Amino acid sequence: MKTVVALLFIVNAVAIYFMLTYGIEIDCTMVGNVLNTDQRETAELLHLSLLPYVLFLRIIPAVLVLIIRVQAPKRIWRPALALGAIGVLAAWSIVTSFTMLWYDRHASVLAP
């Protein structure tokens, strides 16, 4: 699972770079275009301004995820942690419930 998270950091950092630099929104057709590009086209898009994104959003978090040792909690703490996680999720849902209106307004852009 740590490897998957590290790979997601890599993909996310590159996606954020292209979204902010070129002002694009990545959708299903964009992903298809990315998968169909050749090496020459890819090399033309790389720039030194990608370096901060790669360093701070990919390398450092990926290394931290890979070196942190994860231990399962003791059996006695599992129910308390589960209830705490449900409580945090419920609180987050209540606090961010107003964003549903934003999703409704921008649904045509978000959905493929």
> In whole angstroms, what is the distance from residue 11 CA to residue 61 CA?
13
- How far, rounded to the nearest angstrom, does the alpha carbon of residue 51 sit from its chain's CA centroid? 18
pLDDT in tens, 18-62: 788 878 777 777 777 777 777 777 777 777 777 787 777 778 888
- How far, rounded to the nearest angstrom, does the alpha carbon of residue 103 sit from its chain's CA centroid? 18
Q: Identify the band that residue 80 occupies on the pLDDT scale cut at 50, 70 and 90.
A: very high
> In whole angstroms, what is the distance from residue 18 CA to residue 11 CA?
11
Given the structure tokens 């033309």, which residue do they identify? 44
Average pLDDT over residues 2-31: 80
Contacts of 3 (CB under 8 A, 6+ apart): 66
**HSE on the CB side for 112, CA within 13 Å?**
7
Structure letter (DSSP) for residue 70: P
